[in-house]
Amino acid sequence: MNWNLYLLLSGMMFLEFTIWGAWGPVLATRILGPLKMTGKQLGWIYGTLPLGCIVAPLAAGQIVDRWCPTEVYLGISHLIGGVLLLAAARATRFRPLVTLMGLYALCFAPTLALVNALAFAHIPNPEVHYFRVRVWGAISWVLVGGALTVWRRSGRWRVKGADCLVLAGVFSLIMGVYCFFLPHTPPAHQAGAVVPFVQALSMLKDPNMLIFLILAFVVSTQLQFYFLGTARYLEDIGTPHAAIPALMGIAQLAQVVAMALILPVTFPRLGYQWTLALATGLWLLMFLIYARLRQRNLVIASMALHGLAFAFFFDAAFIYVNRVAPPEIRGSAQALYTTVTLGLGLFVGTRITGAVMDRFRREGGFQWRTIFLVPCLLLAVCALAFIFFFKG
């Protein structure tokens, strides 16, 4: 892979995850705190992105596989998304906020699959070189969390946590312009041929692919306990509010280490089956620490397990889908995986997490021990299922 291509694709990953990293880990504290919304309302607002991932990637996959260059679709989506995020920063009531975040999700959700599809279209030998490009997405998440923490500690304008949405909106506009300079990636499928998504669905005839998607769905439902619960949990065990964005970056630091140093060595040896099983086990261990211990430093350190698990699971999964899908439908195949995990999985997860948090919320606060035992049970089942039933 030549240097110019590496820089372009790395910049794409950096900006893509800077946008999500600016608001994803910390918006919940604004919703539950200054805006005084309920856990169910939090679940609906965070559920807009999974809902977007259910619908939008399927349509986007058809468009880029049949008619529109991928980089053009990415650019338009991020420009519109940036405007919507800036508008969401001004919303203080549930209905306007959930509406704006829902519209934004329709723009942003397809890009999560398409940046990978574009990268795989140009990276030679993805099993070796993909990690070098994807690592910049994790680095950006760490840096934006640190920058937001420094900004908040400076005491400057933040309008009760809305600064995270403003920052995300600005970077989305920058990303929109940047995408038009990415390598040209024309549609690989003829417009008159069989619909690519129909071909992608036919991949479910493979028992391994079916088992993989079912388990990936269940694992994804449990991730919302981390995304929706961690920031508030850290506050409840005595962590200063202003320090939380930087502390949430611990997971991304671990993700950087995993992609830069660990996965290039372990992935060829472990293969898909054991890499996915190990990732699921790491999430299980993290939630066990959350559930059984309230020692702040240990809980903070355990967040690194999320970063390791996220890198192991999702990077191995994206490569697996790219390997088993025919070249002409890889955009739709990545969209199918995104729909199942970041779409259906995270949406169902938001509903489960929001309901569980409301069920175990008392006047004195959340009963975190009981809340975090829920993902422990399901992740234990999934880890065993990857070991005994999935043959990657």
Residue type, 129: H
For 28, other C-beta atoms within 10 Å of its C-beta total 23
- The residues with which 365 forms a beta bridge, in sequence order, are 362
Q: Would you state the pLDDT for residue 192?
A: 47
Q: Kind of pairing, strands 365-366 and 361-362?
A: antiparallel
Q: Which residue bears the tokens 């008392």?
A: 362
pLDDT-derived band of residue 195, with 50, 70 and 90 as boundaries?
low
Give the C-alpha separation, 22 to 163, whole Å: 9
Give the C-alpha separation, 241 to 149, whole Å: 9
Q: Dihedral through CA 301, CA 307, CA 313, CA 316, nearest 10?
A: -130
- Min mean pLDDT across 81-90, 191-200, 344-353 is at 191-200
pLDDT tens per residue, range 328-355: 777 778 778 888 988 888 888 888 888 8
Report which of 6, 121, 124 is spatially closest to residue 70, judged by C-alpha positions: 121
What is the DSSP track for 139-207?
A: HHHHHHHHHHHHHHHTT---TTTTHHHHHHHHHHHHHHHHHTTSPP----S-TTSS-HHHHHHGGGGSH
Give the C-alpha separation, 176 to 18, whole Å: 13
What average pLDDT does this structure show over 140-160? 73
What average pLDDT does this structure show over 233-257? 82
pLDDT tens per residue, range 136-146: 988 888 788 77
Whether the CA torsion 271, 119, 142, 351 is positive or negative: it is: negative
What average pLDDT does this structure show over 147-162? 69
Give the C-alpha separation, 250 to 105, whole Å: 26
Q: Are 72 and 118 in contact (CB under 8 A)?
A: no
Domains of the chain: 3-389 (1.20.1250.20)
Q: Would you state the pLDDT for residue 12?
A: 95
What average pLDDT does this structure show over 377-392? 92
Cα end-to-end span (Å), the chain: 27
Of the spans 42-56, 117-131, 183-197, 305-319, which averages the highest pLDDT? 305-319
**For residue 259, is pLDDT > 90?**
no
pLDDT tens per residue, range 209-229: 999 999 999 999 999 899 888
Residue 185 phi, psi (nearest 5): -130, 85
On average, the pLDDT of the chain sits at 85
SS3 366: strand
Task: Please give the model's pTM, rounded to 2 decimal places.
Answer: 0.78
Give the C-alpha separation, 200 to 189, whole Å: 13
Residue type, 315: D
pLDDT tens per residue, range 263-291: 888 888 898 999 999 999 999 999 999 99
